[in-house]
Amino acid sequence: MALPKWTDERTQSLTDFVGSESPISQATVASAAEHLETSTRSVSSKLRKMGFDVELASSVSHRTFSDDQEATLLQFVTDNSGTYTYADIASSFEGGQFSAKSIQGKILSMELTSHVKPAEKPASVRTYSPEEEATFTSMVNDGAFVEEIADALGKTVNSIRGKALSLLRSGDIGAIPRQKVTKGSSKADPLSELNGEIGDLTVEEIADE
């Protein structure tokens, strides 16, 4: 089945879901994937493209499960398919010696996530107050840079970019604000420094210079 595309709304929802966590853990990635009904790989890829620092799956350290414990976990999860959340399983399995995050990571690696009961989705939290949205819109219309808006509102650059997409979609702003600093902006243009000096010179005169 094809994975859903990353629309502006889904991108904003993902940005709001991960919040200010850095680096973003694999447990959060898994929860976000479940929340947005997509794959963990798709979520990780999207977050990295947006500039977020995402924990590598290969670097996640989980408490070691013995072969017997892994077999017991497999049996427990499949026998109680859809009954328990990760937190429920953690509290019931092996006397609670494994954290919910450890259990989630292990179940993810065993590809058993479909047997886990989804945790209740938290109520949608408004990350920008009406006053902040008004300030955001006003600053964008005045030509402010992303970094300036982030400083004024106490938000991250990634959050500002995500909110800008949402406001552009709703028609509250006409364009995405520019960033002062981009990957290529630190490279000086050698011609820009000479522009004022050679503007009135002919090709021959420039060559003589």
Shared domain for 14 and 55, answered yes or no, is yes
CB burial readout 24-53, b (16+ within 10 A) else e:
bbbbbbbbbbbbbebebebbbebbeebebe
The string of pLDDT tens digits covering residues 14-53 is 999 888 888 888 778 888 888 888 888 899 999 999 999 9
Q: Is residue 178 part of a domain?
A: no
The string of pLDDT tens digits covering residues 75-93 is 999 998 888 898 888 888 8
Enclosing domain of residue 85: 67-115
Number of domains in the chain: 3
Q: Is residue 14 part of a domain?
A: yes
